[in-house]
């Protein structure tokens, strides 16, 4: 059983992982090295693809002091070679005596690290604060276990459920506070996707911007994905040099997601418009919904979603995870339910 010192170290490792910027397509991971006396030798974290994994980051900080230490890691150490070598090999080479990890590695390509460590004589304990550790990487875990990216659909609408006026105009339904809030969520995805209709109508950047509405550096930008067969003029902002852009000339969601897999995408942030969102919704491929509801009415216009419902029996429930006021607007975060809603008496 993990000691109190190891539990505290795991909490520190979790905090180190949370403090990192977007690491996708890799998971967020934190690692704390403890001396046999319980002293903290190093706190490491993974900072993105191609950089040192959390265990290696901590080992490099600790140097020779890592021999005989305990490594407390939020995710089971990997056992495969990708852009960097296996963390298992690094831990064994450093002479670590014990490994305590949170979430077991769900990635079939990287799993098996705990078994390899035990086979080499290292004391291993898993499942420590496992739920907290798994919460770090919900989207990544989904992607590696389902073989497709996690899809978050974001929309903005009036209280009567409309996302655009009859003439197609939609800027801006929600407040500047809501739009700033969106940037934080965009930054957590590794792809931002919109349909050609929305791009032609609004000429969006589809980038992550800072508090002054300036785009972040190219290296920090998610992939921009434009879906559909309509031609987008080359002078549109989605083709600027602020971020990479991928054109996918189909509206078949399965084909779109296959392209995402080919490009290493784990978490897709889906924005505008109602047709593309409806395609993913109808196919059951929306995994999270984030809606920003403005305290206003249009009375007529375009709905936020083009679905296929014919009767109330097609009503699909949303399991609410969070309801928060953002400026004058309300932000609702939920998970689409899979079971039909029970009949009301």
Mean pLDDT of 113-121: 94
Binding-site residues for Zn(2+) sit at 53, 78, 87
Whose structure tokens read 């399965």? Answer: 254
Residue 134 clears pLDDT 60, i.e. is over it: yes
CA atoms of 293 and 25, how far apart (whole Å): 31
**197-226 burial, b for 16+ CB within 10 Å, e for fewer?**
bbbbbbebbbbbbeeeeebbeeeebbbbbb
| The two three-digit tokens of residue 267, written as one number | 């978490």
Q: Return the CATH number of 4-143, one of 3.50.50.60, 3.30.70.360, 3.40.140.10, 3.40.50.20.
A: 3.40.140.10
Mean pLDDT lowest among 181-185, 207-211, 263-267, 282-286: 207-211
**175 or 337: which leads in pLDDT:** 175
Residue 241 CB neighbour total at 10 angstroms: 8
Instruction: Give the residue carrying structure tokens 């924005």.
Output: 271
Tokens of 252: 């078949």
To the nearest whole number, what is the mean pLDDT of the chain? 91
**Which of 188, 181, 152 is closest to 321 using CA atoms?**
152
Location of structure tokens 């600790």: 62
Domain ranges of the chain: 4-143, 149-336
pLDDT of 226 > 60? The answer is: yes
Quote the pLDDT of residue 140.
95
Give the residue-averaged pLDDT of 205-232: 87
The topology (CATH level 3) of 149-336 is Dihydrofolate Reductase, subunit A (3.40.430)
pLDDT band at 304 (very low <50, low <70, confident <90, very high): confident
Confidence of residue 245 (pLDDT cuts 50, 70, 90): very high
Is the preceding peptide bond at 25 cis, omega within 30 degrees of 0? yes
Residue 82 has pLDDT above 80, yes or no: no
Numbered residues of the known binding site for NADP(+): 156, 172, 202, 273-279
Give the pLDDT band of residue 344 (cuts 50, 70, 90).
Answer: very low
Q: For the chain, first and last CA: distance in Å?
A: 50
Q: Which alpha helices (H) appear in 203-323, and where do they start and end?
A: 253-262, 274-282
Higher pLDDT residue, 108 or 62?
62
Please identify which of the residues 6, 55, 76, 139 carries the catalytic annotation. 55
Asked if residues 224 and 247 have their Cβ atoms less than 8 Å apart, the reply is no
C-alpha 316/C-alpha 310 separation (Å) is 12
Q: What is the rounded average pLDDT of the residues 306-329?
A: 89
Backbone angles phi, psi at 323, to 5 degrees: -130, 120
- Residues annotated in the binding site, as ranges? 53, 78, 87, 156, 170, 172, 186, 202, 206, 209, 271, 273-279
Cα 118 to Cα 266: distance, rounded to the nearest angstrom: 30
In this predicted structure, what is the pLDDT of residue 171?
Answer: 79
pLDDT greater than 70 at residue 343:
no
pLDDT for 338 equals 66
Asked if the model's pLDDT at residue 317 lies above 60, the reply is: yes
Judged by DSSP in three states, 260 sits in helix
Q: What share of the chain is helix, strand, coil (3-state, %, to 5)?
A: 30, 25, 45
The mean-pLDDT minimum among 49-53, 213-217, 222-226 falls in: 213-217
Residue 315 has pLDDT above 90, yes or no: no
Residue 107's pLDDT is 83
Cα→Cα distances 170→87, 107, 224, 323, Å: 49, 41, 20, 23
pLDDT at 341: 47
Confidence grade of residue 248 (pLDDT, cut at 50, 70, 90):
very high
To the query of whether residue 342 is one of the catalytic residues in this protein, the response is no
Eight-class DSSP state of 209 = B
- Give the whole-angstrom CA distance, residue 74 versus residue 136: 9
Rounded (10°) angle between helices 54-62 and 4-18: 110
CA angle 92, 46, 64 (to 5 degrees): 35
Residue 222 is given by DSSP the state P
Counting residues of the chain whose pLDDT is more than 70, the rounded percentage is 97
């Amino acid at each position: 059983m993990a000691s109190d010192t190891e539990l505290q170290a795991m909490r520190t490792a979790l905090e180190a992982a949370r403090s990192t910027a977007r690491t996708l397509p890799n998971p967020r991971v934190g690692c704390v090295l403890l001396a046999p006396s319980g002293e903290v030798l190093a706190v490491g974290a993974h900072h993105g693809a191609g950089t040192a994994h959390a265990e290696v980051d901590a080992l490099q900080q600790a140097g020779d002091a890592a021999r005989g230490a305990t490594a407390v890691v939020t995710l089971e150490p990997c056992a495969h070679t990708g852009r960097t070598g296996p963390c298992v090999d690094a831990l064994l080479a450093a002479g670590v005596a014990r490994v305590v990890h949170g979430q077991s590695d769900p990635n079939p390509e990287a799993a098996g690290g705990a078994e390899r460590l035990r086979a080499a004589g290292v004391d291993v304990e898993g499942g420590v604060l496992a739920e907290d550790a798994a919460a770090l990487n919900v989207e990544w875990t989904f992607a590696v276990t389902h073989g497709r990216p996690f899809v978050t659909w974001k929309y903005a609408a009036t209280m009567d459920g409309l996302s655009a006026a009859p003439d197609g105009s939609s800027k801006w339904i929600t407040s500047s506070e809501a739009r700033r809030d969106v940037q934080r969520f965009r930054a957590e995805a590794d792809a931002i996707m919109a349909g050609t209709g929305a791009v032609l109508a609004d000429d969006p950047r589809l980038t992550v911007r800072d508090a002054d509405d300036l785009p972040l550096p190219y290296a920090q930008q998610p992939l921009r994905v434009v879906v559909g067969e309509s031609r987008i003029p080359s002078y549109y902002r989605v083709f600027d040099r602020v971020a990479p852009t991928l054109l996918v000339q189909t509206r078949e969601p399965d084909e779109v997601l296959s392209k995402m897999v080919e490009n290493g995408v784990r978490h897709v942030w889906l924005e505008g418009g109602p047709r593309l969102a409806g395609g993913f919704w109808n196919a059951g491929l929306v995994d999270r919904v984030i809606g920003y509801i403005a305290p206003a009415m249009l009375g007529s216009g375009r709905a936020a979603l083009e679905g296929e419902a014919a009767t109330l029996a097609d009503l699909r429930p949303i399991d609410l995870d969070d309801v928060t006021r953002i400026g004058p607007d309300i932000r609702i975060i939920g998970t689409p339910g899979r079971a039909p809603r029970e009949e009301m008496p």
